[in-house]
Structure 1
Amino acid sequence: MNFSLGNIWYLLLLLLLPVITWLLFGFKKWKSERRNIFAETQFQEDLFPKDYQFSKFFPVLYLLAFVFLILAMVDFLGGKEEMKIQQKVNSVIFLLDVSNSMNAQDVQPSRLEQAKNILINTIQNLGDDKVGIVVFAGDAQSIMPLTTDYSAAETYIGAIETTTIGKQGTDFLKAIEVATEKFKNVPKGARKIVLISDGEDNEGNDKAAIDEALRQGITINSVGIGKDDGAPIPIYEFGQLMGYKTDVLGETIITKRQTEALMSLAFDTNGEYVDGNDMEAAVNKIVLQLRNQKGASETLVNTQSAVHYYQWFLGISLFIFVIIFLFNPKKDFNF
């Protein structure tokens, strides 16, 4: 039964009590005045029947009867109840590396396309978890807020390219900081990150990223894309391959998956590392990990299955009205 100030019916019906009190005692005063107009006080005992001693309690009984009647109405009208429900759910933010090295084709058709396929298939196999997506390179930005609307995820993911972030490089710390903002209203035990990358942090912030994740109660599950022996980084202009990225000496740069860094991100934050080169195996392992890592989260919900007591209140009210009726021989407001 909800008697909180937020129950508007409770407040409105309580306003009836002073009105009823005023009417009861107003009626008594009016009746006394009418008697005085009809006859002087010394003649009233002979002209009017003597009041019963019990009738003095009638105003209190009437008020009590109306109080219980109002309580019955409040409980009947307030058919909802707020309940705290504990659910084992996660809020999962996928951090997707969109640096230029993700264009490497040591995994077909490319590291980025492999990562996007893993992301889509993982989300499709999740249950009630909330999911969000953050893309990062030298900077980071959220492209999908935390939501259970998985149908929209594929649209967001399909539009991701290595040009999505203007500032190139790879900075894990920036990605963790953006994810932390999204976790603001999520309890620490339910904060999960799936980081999909080739592991190259050009800014050298991998240790700082781990420290920030631990401070924020975030578990990182990392997914490594790419081969350890590496591949060149293709350069595209208007969708056409123009060559491969070179260093200042004109030598072709070979980008290699940094497995050790990705393992460190996962293991140091109580997460797991997954080899992302086999898509199906990677998806199955990520989904299993997230299910095993579910944390308890309290949710406040309105439920129609509230426990009602209006029958008891109504019964007490009717009982008092019956008492008044039985002990009032004239069956009127004689008090």
Structure 2
Amino acid sequence: MSGLEFAAPAAFALLLVAPLVALLARRRPAPLSVPSTAALEPLRPTRRLRLARALPALRVLAVALLVIALAGPRRGDARTIIPGEGIDIVLSLDLSSSMLQRFGDSNRLEVTKEVAREFVRSRQDDRVGIVVFQQDALPLAPPSADYAALDRMIADLESGILPDGTGIGVGLAAALSMLQESTAASRVVILITDGEHNAPSIGPREAAALAAALKVRVYTIGIVSNDPFQRSREIDEQLLRDIAADTGGRYFAATGPGELRQVYEEISSLERSRITRESFEAFDEYGPWFAAAAAGILAVDLLLRGTLLRRLPA
């Protein structure tokens, strides 16, 4: 559960009315002139008189409770965040031979694996699945919270376990197949590639249309060269942008290991903020309880003034 909050805190300005209510409630008719009150001094106020003098406090309390009700006290219901069911993420990793090109101090595949392992190890309540692709796709692990096993699996990945090529469409489709039955609040595919789709399989745009129909967001990451000319020949960035845009995700270009780490961190932040907003859409509203209490107090006040304390000044 979240902390108590108020939907309309500006309503508390109405508390300035409470003292005015107290003054009006205590207003008395003009006193009568008598020669002397010495004979009345030994007399103690009766219970009825003392009760009548307390009536203004009831009205002030009722006004205060009504103001609190108008402010909308509520508590967010976060019970929708269940460990292991907050976000289901599938990493779809390109293992084609082009991923063996130099990238920083290592090659693209090794850096991709290293950063993906860091991403997995940093998860808490999310489940992560793994798909790898070249010309074909191979689902390795469905979404799981066994981060140690996922870490070992990513560490052992090598290029060449499938026929060479870049099947972006089939890599995305295999990831979607893993998420089709997921009931997680947020379902995400992170697809990483450094090339153009060139496999005789399902097309990337058809796979993106399927992702949109399933309401799965796809974040695409392009491992690209610093050389603009070489970059344009190696990878179809417009395709990756379109896949992300069609599914509500984003495209990121990484020219080095540092940028790739930043991309993963940004995706993690985007999804965490999204799931946090969604999980607090339901609230326990307390305003009606305060309003009911105020109505009850006013009813008691009116009842007392109309019966037991009818002839006594408050």
TM-score where L is the length of structure 1 = 0.52
What are the within-5 Å matches in structure 2 for residues 308-323 of structure 1? none
Aligned to 2:207: 209
Amino acid at match of 1:129: D
Q: Please state if 1:282 is matched with 2:278.
A: no
Partner of 2:182: 186
2:58 aligns to what? none
**Could you tell me which of 235, 239, 256 is aligned with 1:261?**
239
**Amino acid in structure 1 at the alignment position of 2:126:** D
Q: Letter of the aligned partner of 1:95 in structure 2?
A: S
Deviations 1:91-147 (A, max 9, x none): 000000011111122544111112112211111222211101000111111112211
Q: Return the alpha-carbon distance in structure 2 between the equivalents of residues 171 and 110 of structure 1.
A: 20
**Aligned match of 1:128:** 125
Q: Aligned partner of 2:261: which letter?
A: E
Q: Which structure: greater helix fraction?
A: 2
Does 2:153 align with 1:175? no
Query: Does residue 155 of structure 2 align to residue 158 of structure 1?
Result: yes
State how far apart, in whole Å, the 1-side matches of 2:105 and 2:165 are. 22
Structure 2 counterparts to residues 319-330 of structure 1, below 5 A: none
Tell me if structure 1 keeps the 8 A contact 2:218–2:247: yes
> Could you give the per-residue CA deviations for residues 253-279 of structure 1, whole angstroms, max 9, x where no partner exists?
x96233222222212210022233323
Contact 1:95–1:195 (CA under 8 A) maintained in structure 2: yes
Say how many residue pairs are matched. Answer: 192
- 1-structure distance, mates of 2:176, 2:240: 19
Gaps of 5+ in 1: 1-83, 233-253, 298-335
The residue type paired with residue 266 of structure 2 is K
- CA displacement 1:178-232 (0-9 Å, x = unmatched): 2222123213752210111114211382211211211222110111112153899
Q: CA deviation at 1:155?
A: 0.7
Say whether the 8 Å CA contact 1:95–1:193 is kept in structure 2. Answer: yes
Alignment partner, residue 134 of structure 2: 137
1:274, 1:282 within 8 Å by CA — same for their partners in 2? yes
C-alpha distance 120-230 of structure 1, shift in aligned 2 (>3 A): farther
In structure 2, the partner of 1:226 is 224
Aligned residue in 2 for 1:329? none
Residue 198 (structure 1) aligned with residue 194 (structure 2): yes
Mapped contact 1:199–1:257 kept (Cα < 8 A): yes
**Residue 86 (structure 1) aligned with residue 80 (structure 2):** yes
SS of 2:81's partner is strand
**Structure 1 residues 162, 211: CA separation in 2 closer, same or farther (over 3 Å shift)?**
same
Alignment of 1:98-117 (within 5 A): 98-117=95-114
Q: Distance in 2 between matches of 1:137 and 1:256?
A: 15
Classify 1:155/1:106 alpha carbon distance in 2 versus 1 (closer, same or farther; 3 Å).
closer
Q: Distance in 2 between matches of 1:178 and 1:144?
A: 11
Q: Is the 8 A contact 2:176 2:189 kept in 1?
A: no
TM-score between both structures, scaled by the size of structure 2 = 0.55
CA distance in 1 between counterparts of 2:268 and 2:91 reads: 13
2:146 matched to which residue of 1?
Answer: 149
Residue type at the aligned position of 2:236: Q
Distance in 2 between residues matched to 1:93 and 1:186, nearest whole Å: 11
**Given the superposition, is the C-alpha separation of residues 231 and 152 from structure 1 closer, same or farther in structure 2, using an over 3 Å criterion?**
farther
Is residue 172–residue 204 contact of structure 2 (8 Å, CA) maintained in 1?
no
Instruction: Compare CA radii of gyration and give the structure with the larger one.
Output: 1
Q: Distance in 2 between matches of 1:188 and 1:172?
A: 24
The aligned amino acid for 1:190 is S
RMSD: 2.7
1:106–1:231 CA contact under 8 A, matched in 2: no
Identity of aligned residues (%): 26
CA displacement, residues 41-64 of structure 1 (integer Å, 9 cap, x when unaligned):
xxxxxxxxxxxxxxxxxxxxxxxx
